[in-house]
Amino acid sequence: MNDIHVVILAAGQGTRMKSQLPKVLHPVGGVAMIERVLDVAASLSPATISLIVGHKSDLVRDALQHRSGLGFAIQEPQLGTAHALQQAEPLLKGRTGAVVLLSGDVPMLRSETLKALLEHHVSSRAAATVVTASVDRPYGYGRIVRQDGQLVRIVEERDASPVERQVREINSGIYAFELAPLFDALRGIASQNAQGEFYLTDLIGIYRGQNRVVETVTVRDSQEIRGINSRSELAEVNRVVRQTKNEELMAAGVTLVDPATTFVGPSVEVGADTVIHPGVVLEGQTKIGSACEIQPHVRIVDSTIGDRVAINSFCLLVGATVASGAAIGPFAHLRPDTIVGESARVGNFVELKKTTLGPGAKANHLSYLGDATIGANVNIGAGTITCNYDGTNKHTTIIEEGAFIGSDSQLIAPVRVGKGAFVAAGSSITEDVPAGALGIARGKQVNVEGWAKRKKTPTGGS
């Protein structure tokens, strides 16, 4: 074969999903199922990848804008799988080699299976090779009909006889085709079936009639060719994907206290001896170091966590970096571009946004620190706020090494607190505090003697 060309069928409406979102954009393990199919397709290093789209095709195109080199063809109206594949003909005109046909709603297919399919297809010089599997409940799938061990035809569920419906070997909808005779043969398919559609499976009979070689490759684990047509099937596939990822982590030395309630995305990395408690969600490009402890009900997205980090319950980290030995939470919120230094402490109900908290620094209680650079060993008192927004622009607060910020202080940016300086509790700091100085900015206290007694004395009435 000179080239490999992948065609992905993604035009279906997915009516049983009952969704305004195209079926192939629904997430599996945190990733749209069409993205998973494209990733496994890319493992073949194909010359071209083409998607056949239809229902809400603009949404599918928009979701895949970040991927370069994709070809698109519209199937409208949608008249069956053979008709769908025909729409790829203009995209493949003048090409040679093999076409690998995938379904956009089969997200668990492994790259090893695709490579085995292609190797067998090429070595057997087949015109068509079909991926099959044996399942306990074949309802809804096309059945593989064999004679003397050879595939003679594929019959769809609605057209199958009672005897054929007892067959447990099913058609996965995944194929390899020799490109040269493909589109001429597709034009010979009729729509004389229960659905009134042009079935791609009829191509097998046509090729057999032309004495062309038709082969099969059978997968051992039928889960990987499982399609998704409903919300319940989506949930079940998500469960399988989550379980697979969790088993990989545990085999690598990660402790999952309750794998059934732990969600870890496909790209997440976790170091050995880290303990993950129930209800934890790890998503995106998150990387967790070794010997960490992540307490229940923590969500971490696109963040990097060092070694020996403790993240207490009910924390949210998005786009943050936490250095080794730090402690976060409970109930802390680390927003994008936040950096927490080594052995630093972010405590209860503290929010950081685009802020660097230096090594050994502490913000233990009830504070908002936004657009701030905070040096090593700084102590941030409870209730401190960096007032970073003037209604039009964001401004930066700088707190240098060893400074002490008293409780219930507001630092109104742009402002700098120098090295080793102190800010008195209850201050509203609008000017820089020099190194080693004490900044006080609060109203003078006045005590009114006897006020409480007079307040309680009746002023009149009967």
Per-residue pLDDT reduced to its tens digit, 273-327: 999 999 999 999 999 999 999 999 999 999 999 999 999 999 999 999 999 999 9
Cα torsion angle, 246, 135, 34, 12, sign = negative
Are the beta carbons of 422 and 438 closer than 8 angstroms? yes
The two beta strands, 263-264 and 281-283, are: parallel
User: Which of 139, 169, 137 lies closest to 153, judged by CA?
Assistant: 169
Strand ranges in 75-230 using DSSP code E only, listed in sequence order: 98-103, 128-134, 143-147, 150-155, 169-178, 214-218
pLDDT value of position 462: 42
Q: Which of 5, 120, 277, 365 is catalytic?
A: 365
pTM over 0.85: yes
What is the distance between the alpha carbons of residues 70 and 39, in angstroms, rounded to a whole number? 12
Helix or strand holding residue 427 (H, E): none
pLDDT value of position 31: 92
Are the beta carbons of 309 and 300 closer than 8 angstroms? no
Tokens representing residue 367 in the block: 């504070």
User: Per residue in 349-407, pLDDT tens?
Assistant: 999 999 999 999 999 999 999 999 999 999 999 999 999 999 999 999 999 999 999 99
Q: Which residues are 327's β-sheet partners?
A: 310, 345
Question: What is the C-alpha radius of gyration for the chain, rounded to an integer number of angstroms?
Answer: 31
Active site residue 83: no
Of the chain, the end-to-end C-alpha distance in Å amounts to 107
Helix or strand holding residue 405 (H, E): strand 404-405
The two beta strands, 143-147 and 150-155, are: antiparallel
User: Which of 15, 69, 35, 239 lies closest to 24, judged by CA?
Assistant: 35
What is the distance between the alpha carbons of residues 247 and 262, in angstroms, rounded to a whole number? 11
Q: Classify 423 as helix, strand or coil.
A: strand
**Residue-wise pLDDT tens for the chain (462 aa)?**
459 999 999 998 788 999 999 999 999 999 999 999 999 999 999 999 999 999 899 999 999 999 999 999 999 988 999 999 999 999 999 999 999 999 999 999 999 999 999 999 999 999 999 999 999 989 889 999 999 999 999 998 888 999 999 999 999 999 999 999 999 999 999 887 777 789 999 999 999 999 999 999 999 999 999 999 999 999 999 999 999 999 999 999 999 999 999 999 999 999 999 999 999 999 999 999 999 999 999 999 999 999 999 999 999 999 999 999 999 999 999 999 999 999 999 999 999 999 999 999 999 999 999 999 999 999 999 999 999 999 999 999 999 999 999 999 999 999 999 999 999 999 999 999 999 999 999 988 899 999 888 888 765 554
User: Which of 228, 265, 258, 219 lies closest to 244, judged by CA?
Assistant: 265
* Residue at token pair 């046909």: 101
